Amino acid sequence: MGMMQPGMMYGQPGMQMMQPGMQMGSYYGAPQQGQPGMQGQPGMMQPGQMAQPGMQPQPSMMMQPGMYGGQPGMMMMQPGMQGQPGMQGQPGMMQPGMMQPGMMMQPGMYGGQPGMMQPGMQGQQGQPGMMMQPGMQMMQPGVQMMGQPGMAQPGMMQPMGDGWWSTPGFDAKRVAETLHAAMKGVGCDDSKLVPLVTYSPRELEAVKVAFQQLYGKDLIHELKSETRFSFETVIVGLFRDPQELDAEHIEKSYSSNIKDDYTALEILVSRTSAEKRRIEDFYLRKYNVKLAQVLATRESGGTRLLATSLLSVVRDDEAGVGQVNDAQARADAAMLYKAGEGKVGTDEPAFINLFVKASLAHLRLVATYYQQTSKKHHSLQQAVDSEFSFALKFGLGAILTLATYGKLEFQAEMAYKAMKGLGTNDTRLVRVLLQNRKNMPQLKQCYQTRYGKPLRDAVHSETSGSYRNALMMMIDFQPQNRT
């Protein structure tokens, strides 16, 4: 069975893999049978048609990167391979990413997405569970899986091009067995847990599934019962969705004995609108209360306005508002001066509304013109420092950092502030490092450039024990096989 040339099916996603004897709807919806010689090529499969035994793929009929919704990596038969009835190619001729004879994808794979076609099913285009999801690839040959031989398990489908990595020789069952042995009996061998920081989220999900299947226990529950303090925060946090972790950290900051107005602001400043919606969803499901309500009741004054606005307002650039306007930037710089340094007292809402609503590029230009406007020749950051205090000063300053330097610079600054002064804000440090596992080389470079010290050295001097070992491995890890 051959692949479609770029441009076949008119470039639309939704190409399905045929099993002999299966009938698919054509691109226009009417079921058709592929007859030899259609559209001028002897034996060539047409879009949406059924492969007949004995039909041969045409040379170069291999899917190119960009097909099936723009996702690369879907490989099938190579030119010259002859499809035999009942199997895809000759034994031993399968390419990486191809489905082996007898392999069957189960519904609910990778985050509960409806799965692949089952052998013998008649696939009508558009029916749930009968089409490969965009961006997903088959299991690699040689990967050992749980359950029946050749059966792909939940969590093992890999979305392509997401920047995460695939660990060579990864075996979820073996990892699960190692974890179980480390936690068996009295105490826990932390050294066997530390390497978890080197696995991608989809690999960790596969380990969690394998652990449940092998031992009938929830891996997260077992890890929480065997680890303590900041080491627990690291290890358990690896298995959390990033926005679930955000929701947990916001709740933790408000439930502690020491009032913490900074955590929610730090998180909300640097998340996209889509990420903030997910934080709200996780928070509501886990704590049975709306995050907006919590922010409104636990914050006050300008900090409450900033926090609730960060949660609800969509920035102009995310809303698709047009290009940066030079004249408007000059006018906004003058407005901020009059709202702050140019008057007695401070018009807090004027600063908050602009900082939360304007695009980061617009804010960056406003900051450039502010120094020309200020009679004191202050920068906008200096104006914020002089006009505001405590959490409100932190939040507005964080937005300026994000606008002026970018997200990675902001994250590097948060790591620095977590370790600055007496003691270490371990929760913040862990949050920054977990959120940037995929971008660790860039984060290390930003930190080194800005603070003149390797991130590794800074973290090493502020941590100890298994907690330090986990963070050191996370910072030092250099993945080789990114997707």
Do 416 and 393 have their domain in common? no
| Token pair for 353 | 């509304």
Do 325 and 306 have their domain in common? no
Q: Give the pLDDT of residue 218.
A: 98
| Token pair for 78 | 């190579």
Do 430 and 464 have their domain in common? yes
What is the chain's pLDDT, residue by residue, as a tens digit (483 residues)?
Answer: 444 444 343 333 443 344 443 433 332 333 334 444 344 444 444 444 444 444 444 433 333 433 333 333 333 334 444 444 444 434 444 444 344 433 443 433 333 333 333 433 333 333 333 333 444 433 343 333 333 333 333 333 344 458 899 999 999 999 999 999 999 999 999 999 999 999 999 999 999 999 999 999 999 999 999 999 999 999 999 999 999 999 999 999 998 777 799 999 999 999 999 999 999 999 999 999 999 999 999 999 999 999 999 999 999 989 887 678 999 999 999 999 999 999 999 999 999 999 999 999 999 999 999 999 999 899 999 999 999 999 999 999 999 999 999 999 999 999 999 999 999 999 999 999 999 999 999 999 999 999 999 999 999 999 999 999 999 999 999 998 776
Do 268 and 303 have their domain in common? yes
Q: Give the pLDDT of residue 161.
A: 56
Please report the DSSP string for 249-273 in residue order.
Answer: HHHHHHHSSS---HHHHHHHHHS-H
Residue 276 lies in a domain: yes
Measure the CA–CA gap between 125 and 9, rounded to whole angstroms: 13
Do 411 and 481 have their domain in common? yes
Q: Give the pLDDT of residue 259.
A: 77
* CATH number for 346: 1.10.220.10
Q: Give the pLDDT of residue 94.
A: 40
Do 327 and 400 have their domain in common? yes
Q: Which residue, of 272, 288, 312, is where some domain finishes?
A: 312
Residue 236 lies in a domain: no
| Token pair for 1 | 């069975």
Do 401 and 325 have their domain in common? yes
Measure the CA–CA gap between 138 and 74, rounded to whole angstroms: 8
Measure the CA–CA gap between 111 and 50, rounded to whole angstroms: 31
Residue 121 lies in a domain: no
Residue 354 lies in a domain: yes
Helix (H) or strand (E) holding 348: helix 348-357
Measure the CA–CA gap between 430 and 424, rounded to whole angstroms: 11
Q: Which residue, of 353, 374, 405, is where some domain finishes?
A: 405
Do 411 and 478 have their domain in common? yes
Q: Which residues pair with 113 in a beta bridge?
A: 109
**Is 179:188 a contact under the CB 8 Å cutoff?**
no
Q: Give the pLDDT of residue 322.
A: 66
By C-alpha distance, which of 409, 394, 393, 302 is closest to 360? Answer: 409
Do 270 and 201 have their domain in common? no
Q: Give the pLDDT of residue 158.
A: 41
Helix (H, G, I), strand (E, B) or coil at 25: strand
Structural domain for 180, as ranges: 172-226
Measure the CA–CA gap between 158 and 350, rounded to whole angstroms: 46
The answer for residues whose C-beta is within 8 angstroms of residue 58's C-beta and 6 or more apart is 2, 41, 44, 79
By C-alpha distance, which of 171, 161, 200, 268 is closest to 440? Answer: 200
Q: Which residue, of 312, 332, 353, is where some domain finishes?
A: 312
Measure the CA–CA gap between 456 and 473, rounded to whole angstroms: 10
By C-alpha distance, which of 376, 455, 453, 383 is closest to 415? Answer: 455
Rounded to a whole number of angstroms, the CA Rg of the chain reads: 27
Do 203 and 253 have their domain in common? no
Q: Give the pLDDT of residue 258.
A: 79
Do 397 and 412 have their domain in common? no
Do 359 and 301 have their domain in common? no
List pLDDT tens digits, range 439-465. Answer: 999 999 999 999 999 999 999 999 999
Domain count, the chain: 4
Residue 161 lies in a domain: no
What is the separation, in whole angstroms, between the first and last Cα of the chain? 26
Residue 350 lies in a domain: yes
Residue 181 lies in a domain: yes
Measure the CA–CA gap between 268 and 310, rounded to whole angstroms: 6
Measure the CA–CA gap between 140 and 75, rounded to whole angstroms: 11
**Is 235:223 a contact under the CB 8 Å cutoff?**
yes
Residue 54 lies in a domain: no
Q: Give the pLDDT of residue 264.
A: 97
Q: Which residues pair with 31 in a beta bridge?
A: 25
147 to each of 117, 153, 198, 258, 421, how far by Cα in Å? 19, 8, 25, 48, 52
Measure the CA–CA gap between 110 and 321, rounded to whole angstroms: 35
